[in-house]
Amino acid sequence: MSDVIHELVIVGSGPAGYTAGIYAARAQLAPVLYEGSVTAGGALMNTTEVENFPGFPDAIIGPDLMDKLKAQAEKFGSILVRDDIVEMKLQGDVKTLVDGSGNTLQAKAVILATGSAYKEIGLENEKRLSGRGVSWCATCDGFFFRNQEIAVVGGGDSAMEEATFLTRFASKVVVIHRRDSLRASKIMVERAQTNPKIEFLWNTEVIDVLGAENVTGLKLRNTVDGSESERAFTGLFVAIGHSPRSELLVGQVELDDEGYVKVQGRSTHTNLSGVFACGDLVDHTYRQAITAAGSGCQAALDAERFLAGH
């Protein structure tokens, strides 16, 4: 372990982490920003066009937006590390973090911005056939389903976005939703509902994924009358939301019942002095790129004030 005690380590690199990096670097804190080994850039790396990030009236591709935020963080002096933090001790005045390569770092302040991970339906065969027809990322895997009939589960913006994107490849996309109304925003619903390749299967849940080597179909249950049926599909895209990535924080930072980090009031202060949290890791409600970026800014300002006072 080096004797260096960094002012600030930022863990996570979505819009929240990079924005915290931009602000902290401009405050001359020389933040060390752990981007993640495979998850660098966060959830937006798996999206296509982002139409609602202010400043881009003609939309911007998710990974391009993240490249810009990353470049901006780096330009002002953030030290980017493409690795994971695998262990943290966050109590006390000096925090200790261990990365995936075995390096131990010390810091006076830490910003947690680890975002969220895709939710699974929770079926045994969903896991077994993951990568063999079951996917959580249309932009990554859509290409493999040319001229095939595939299903998307979910009724939120993610499901509408995935379904619409998948019509570029698939012959038909069936959105399977457990209720009879969608939670997605009006514009996304309209786009999906007017797409001739998209069919909606209402009041339906997936109770099994069928197939020996690859997905061949789904077993479905009607949530109103309980009747069961099977339907042939070669792909299943699961788009049912996200859970906060707070596994490493259990027992250290105060979390709520769903695993989100609790922050004090409108600030990004956690229950531990010198530890701040932002982005999807704290946000039940909004979970937008722009709100995550805003809270990353708040976290950097909170950390800067904390460090100035110590």
- Dihedral angle, C-alpha 229, 230, 233, 239, nearest 10 °: 50
| Residue type at position 141 | D
> Interhelix angle for 157-166 vs 186-193, to 10°?
30
Token pair listed for 297: 């800014």
When asked if residue 52 is in the footprint of ligand NAP (CB under 6 A), the reply is yes
Residue 41: CB minimum distance to ligand NAP, A: 15
When asked if residue 161 is in the footprint of ligand NAP (CB under 6 A), the reply is yes
Strand-strand pairing, 134-135 and 235-238: parallel
**Near ligand NAP by CB under 6 A: residue from 155, 235, 244, 279:** 155
140 flagged as catalytic: yes
Total binding residues toward ligand NAP, as defined by CB under 6 A: 18
Look-up of token digits 């859509």: 142
Window contacting ligand NAP (CB under 6 A); options: 125-133, 158-166, 243-251, 257-265:
158-166
Residue 228: CB minimum distance to ligand NAP, A: 16
**Near ligand NAP by CB under 6 A: residue from 12, 41, 115, 154:** 154
Token pair listed for 143: 């290409």
Whether the CB-CB separation of 96 and 9 falls below 8 Å is answered with: no
When asked if residue 292 is in the footprint of ligand NAP (CB under 6 A), the reply is no
Question: Cα separation of 118 and 277, whole Å?
Answer: 20
When asked if residue 179 is in the footprint of ligand NAP (CB under 6 A), the reply is yes
Look-up of token digits 């690859």: 214
Residue 135: CB minimum distance to ligand NAP, A: 14
**Residue 204 bridge partners (DSSP):** 222
- Dihedral angle, C-alpha 80, 81, 86, 91, nearest 10 °: -40
Window contacting ligand NAP (CB under 6 A); options: 64-72, 100-108, 148-156, 221-229:
148-156
Window contacting ligand NAP (CB under 6 A); options: 21-29, 175-183, 208-216, 224-232:
175-183
178 or 197: CB nearest ligand NAP: 178
3-state helix, strand, coil in the chain (%, to 5): 30, 30, 45
2 or 181: CB nearest ligand NAP: 181
Distances (CA, A) of 159 to 33, 198, 242: 31, 12, 12
Residue 96 burial class via C-beta count within 10 angstroms: exposed 0-12, middle 13-18, buried 19 and up? middle
41 or 154: CB nearest ligand NAP: 154
Window contacting ligand NAP (CB under 6 A); options: 9-17, 128-136, 147-155, 191-199:
147-155
Give the active site residue among 64, 93, 99, 140.
140
Q: Which residues contact 115 (CB under 8 A, 6 or more apart)?
A: 12, 14, 16, 17, 39, 42, 43, 244, 245, 279, 280, 281, 292
141 flagged as catalytic: yes
Give the active site residue among 64, 83, 93, 141.
141
Window contacting ligand NAP (CB under 6 A); options: 88-96, 144-152, 177-185, 260-268:
177-185
Where in the sequence numbering do the catalytic residues fall? Answer: 137, 140-141
Which stretches of the chain bind ligand NAP, using CB under 6 A? 52, 121, 153-159, 161, 178-179, 183, 205, 240-242, 287
